[in-house]
Amino acid sequence: MNHSYRWVIVAAGGLLGCVAMGAMFSLPIFLRPMAQETGWSVTGISTAMTIGFLALAAASMVWGNLSDRFGPRPVVFTGSVVLAASLALVSRAESLVEFQLLFGLLVGTATAAVFAPMMACVTGWFDTQRSLAVSLVSAGMGMAPMTMAPLAAWLVTVHDWRTSMLIIAGIAALLMIPAALLVRRPPALERGQTEMAADLPQSDMTVRQALRSPQFVTLMLANFFCCATHSGPIFHTVSYAVTCGVPMLAAVSIYSVEGLAGMFGRIGFGLAGDRFGARRILVIGLLAQAFGVLAYVFVSTLGPFYAVAALVGFIYAGTMPLYAVIIRENFPLRMMGTIIGGSAMAGSLGMSTGPLLGGMIYDRFDSYAFMYIGSWGMGLAAVLILMTFRPFTARQAEMAPA
């Protein structure tokens, strides 16, 4: 029962992530229609996404800690209800500030209730094929550009942005709430502490020791710069393509190509991580990501956009699940929600930089080139930081600061 049910957990996590991330990342699709209809600036609307990532960051460790204490199901269920309600409220926003706060704070906080708890849950259900399982959940999240993004793009050609946002709220409620009810706590956490200890790396480590360890700090910094590298390109590439003369629906398809390539990237990197080690594959992926985002500077027509989007999507999507695998290899299962939540917090802070800085760069220079060059530099920083990571030894665990 438990052995087979773990794949139900993977499927539920993939669906929850797809809808939650798709709802949040529908904002780039709404960006220009909203600006034209309301008169709000691109920077102003983009700021809502930045606030969203800051809220996601702030809430990640809280939701993760709650999932460690009470199990993932009540946390994910609550997040699903709040997300659907938040999107409905966003569709009624009458001012830019109201929109920024509703979308940023509520949608960002609700989305955080899905990522860290589900990633932590899945790592606990798998002792073998762990990189692949985590990557498949992440692949579900990666389905958003191929499902929610085209849906949002179609909706805004048929309805105004408010009606479109309300429809997405209804879809979120219809799909996420039932899926949340399928989530269960990993079997190892249902057993006694003595029985569970054999399953855990560094089983005597406290949460405080874990959060103060060099290993945790290194992973946080690497994830921050990793996500800062691709956040601007993810958020602004559709808009960049439109400024290059690519029609809106075709520009959105670039986003979908990136998502499709990301599906293969997640599975490919997951299999490679199981075979060659998650850290080694992550370092290689981060280096390739840095030069991938730089390539956007040199494209201006649809074909080259597709090629670069496929490369970048394959790489960045493949790298992201590997952080959870490295965490599971180095920290106890009973604190997975908290530690993965901390990593998600760092990643979300990195993601928050791209929408705002990219919008400011475009408004100032009428060009996105400097954004892609800056992303390249942050990508190289992520590589250098992760290269300093060293797994725990038994002796290090004993000497970790209390």
pLDDT tens, 204-246?
778 888 888 899 999 999 999 999 999 888 888 888 888 888 8
Indicate the pLDDT class of residue 249, thresholds 50, 70 and 90.
confident
pTM for the model: 0.74
The whole-number pLDDT of residue 282 equals 94
In the structure, what pLDDT confidence band is assigned to residue 2 with cuts at 50, 70 and 90? low
CA gap 333, 372 in Å, rounded = 38
Choose among 177, 28, 185, 165: nearest CA to 110.
Answer: 177
Average pLDDT over residues 44-67: 86
Region 362-375: what's the mean pLDDT? 86
201 pLDDT band, cuts 50/70/90, is: low
| Per-residue confidence (pLDDT) for residue 197, from 0 to 100 | 46
pLDDT one-digit tens code per residue, 10-23: 889 889 988 998 88
| Ranges assigned E (strand) in 304-380 | none
Q: Which of 42-46, 129-133, 301-305 has the lowest mean pLDDT?
A: 129-133
Burial of 336-351, coded b for 16+ CB within 10 Å and e otherwise, reads: bbbbbbbbbbbbbbbb
| CA-atom Rg of the chain in angstroms | 20
Exposed/middle/buried for 183, CB within 10 Å: 0-12, 13-18, 19+? buried
pLDDT in the model for residue 222: 95
Mean of pLDDT values over 242-262: 84
The one-letter code for the residue type at 347 is G
Least confident of 78-87, 157-166, 188-197, 232-241: 188-197
Distance CA 294, CA 374 (A): 9
* Cα 18 from chain centroid (whole Å): 10
Model pLDDT, residue 294 = 94
Q: What is the pLDDT of residues 343-368, one digit of tens each?
A: 888 987 888 788 778 888 888 887 88
- Mean pLDDT, to the nearest integer, of 78-90? 93
CA distances for 213 relative to 206, 270, 389, 398, angstroms? 11, 26, 11, 11
Q: From the CB of residue 118, how many other CB atoms can be counted at a distance below 10 Å?
A: 33
User: How far apart are the C-alpha atoms of 99 and 334, rounded to whole Å?
Assistant: 38
- Ramachandran angles phi, psi of 124, nearest 5°: -80, -20
Report the mean per-residue pLDDT for the chain: 84
Dist. CA 258–CA 309, nearest whole Å: 5
So what's the pLDDT on residue 132? 80
- Would you tell me how many other CB atoms lie within 10 Å of the CB of residue 93? 18
At 203, the pLDDT band (50, 70, 90 cuts) reads low
> Looking at residues 184-191, what average pLDDT do you find?
74
**What whole-number distance in Å separates Cα of residue 253 and Cα of residue 230?**
18
Average pLDDT over residues 135-164: 81
3-state secondary structure 28-63: HHHHHHHHHHHCCCHHHHHHHHHHHHHHHHHHHHHH
Instruction: State residue 221's pLDDT score.
Output: 95
Q: Rounded to whole angstroms, what are the CA distances from 277 to 93, 272, 314? A: 47, 7, 18
Q: Mean pLDDT throughout 97-102?
A: 90
What does the alpha-carbon distance between residue 122 and residue 199 come to, in Å, rounded to a whole number? 14
All domains in the chain, ordered by first residue: 2-186+199-392 (1.20.1250.20)
Identify the band that residue 199 occupies on the pLDDT scale cut at 50, 70 and 90: very low
Q: How far apart are CA 359 and CA 16, in angstroms?
A: 29
Which has more pLDDT, 109 or 147?
109
Contact 91/163 with Cβ under 8 angstroms? yes
In this prediction, residue 395 carries a pLDDT of 43
Share of residues in the chain with pLDDT > 70 (%): 93
CA 127-128-133 angle, to 5 degrees, is 95
Q: What is the pLDDT of residue 365?
A: 83
Average pLDDT, integer, range 53-73: 87
The band of 394, judged by pLDDT with boundaries at 50, 70 and 90, is very low
Q: What is the pLDDT of residue 1?
A: 43
Kindly report the backbone phi and psi dihedral angles of residue 400, in degrees, each rounded to the nearest multiple of 5, phi listed first: -60, 140
Distance CA 38, CA 12 (A): 37
At 195 the pLDDT is 44
The DSSP 8-state label assigned to residue 198 in this structure reads T
Position 220 scores a pLDDT of 92
* Alpha-carbon torsion (120, 309, 346, 209), positive or negative: positive
Which range is most confident: 43-57, 185-199, 277-291? 277-291
